[in-house]
Amino acid sequence: MAKDLLFEIGAEEIPAGFMPNILGQLKQLAETKLNDAHLPFESIATYGTPRRLALIVKGLTDTSAEISERHKGPSASIAYDADGNATKAAIGFARGKGLDVADLVVEDGYIYAETKTAGVPAKDIVTDMLPQLITGLNFPKSMHWGNLDAKFVRPVRWLVALLDEEVIPVEFATVKSGNVTRGHRFLGADEITIKNAASYVDTLKENFVMVDQDARRELISKQLHDIAASKNASIVWDDDLLEEINYLVEWPTALCGGFEES
């Protein structure tokens, strides 16, 4: 049965200019590690606001794929003596691959070992992977805090790690993972329980956090154009400024200010 993975790193406000690169790194790193572990998935996405980095992997299989490999060994003339008995070379090669000498095959003048590695449960794979995602990210500047040796772009304050509804144990800088996140600093709840990975985006939205940066950008643009239309005005557009603002807010609300003519 396919499962969804959620991993959220909650932190103090991350510089807006760092965010696009960090989210790209997080996605690429997770994708690489899952592929290396031969754990299939349907889709992978990263989301980010000033206070959080989030990874959502949908459709993870229960276990990784069984791996069949063929290993080339020494030549048959070295592996067997004149009477066809296995030499130390063949015995050592077979032992190194976890096989009996009788399981070796000879082709094209060489011996081969054919091995199969059983699939690994998804939970075990992601339990090992998630801490590596934290330490594998690179930032233009990192911080130490307290008396800890750990470093990150900003101090880490909470972690959410769920495989469907099951909490995956992760610890970084004395912070342990759970299923509790935080809403908007002023509009949302201080603590929010995430029931399962699939409900993450909607649960945060109910607490005034639009975690999807693409949706935020689109909303900011729409709000600006609506205001401009209502004022019979035009916008002096700046894509770089829009991108910066997108990563400065969790719940966009465009406003139009003014001055008295006097």
pLDDT tens-place string over residues 24-46? 999 999 999 999 999 999 999 99
pLDDT at 25: 98
Tokens, residue 91: 């015995």
Tokens, residue 58: 């949908």
Residue 136 has pLDDT above 90, yes or no: yes
**30 lies in the same domain as 128:** yes
Strand partners, 159: 9, 177
Q: What is the mean pLDDT of residues 139-152?
A: 94
Please check whether residue 122 is in contact with residue 166, taking contact to mean a CB–CB distance below 8 angstroms.
no
Averaged pLDDT score across all residues of the chain:
94
Considering 82, 117, 152, which residue would you say is the last residue of a domain?
Answer: 117
Q: What is the mean pLDDT of residues 154-167?
A: 98
- The model's pTM is 0.85
Q: Is residue 164 part of a domain?
A: yes
Residue 70 has pLDDT above 90, yes or no: no
Exposed / middle / buried, residue 89 (Cβ in 10 Å: 0-12, 13-18, 19+):
middle
**154 lies in the same domain as 186:** yes
Q: What is the mean pLDDT of residues 66-70?
A: 85
Q: Which amino acid is at 18?
A: F
Residue 214 has pLDDT above 90, yes or no: yes
**53 lies in the same domain as 141:** yes
**48 lies in the same domain as 146:** yes
Buried b / exposed e over 224-240, threshold 16 CB at 10 Å, is beeeeeeeeeeeeeeee
Q: What is the mean pLDDT of residues 77-101?
A: 90
DSSP output for 144-196: --TT-S--BSS-EEEEEEEETTEEPP-EETTEEEESEE---TTTS-S-EE--S
Tokens, residue 6: 């959620």
For 37, list phi and psi in degrees, rounded to 5.
Answer: -85, 0
Tokens, residue 115: 């091995």
Which of 7-16, 103-112, 146-155, 218-227 shows the lowest per-residue confidence on average (mean pLDDT)? 103-112
**7 lies in the same domain as 25:** yes
Residue 160 has pLDDT above 90, yes or no: yes
Total domain count, the chain:
2
CATH of the domain at 195: 3.30.70
Please check whether residue 161 is in contact with residue 167, taking contact to mean a CB–CB distance below 8 angstroms.
yes
Strand partners, 3: 60
Q: Is residue 254 part of a domain?
A: no
**Which of 131, 185, 142, 166 lies closest to 9, judged by CA?**
131
DSSP state at residue 14: P
pLDDT grade for 240, boundaries at 50, 70 and 90: very high
**59 lies in the same domain as 74:** no
pLDDT at 105: 87
**53 lies in the same domain as 90:** no
**57 lies in the same domain as 131:** yes
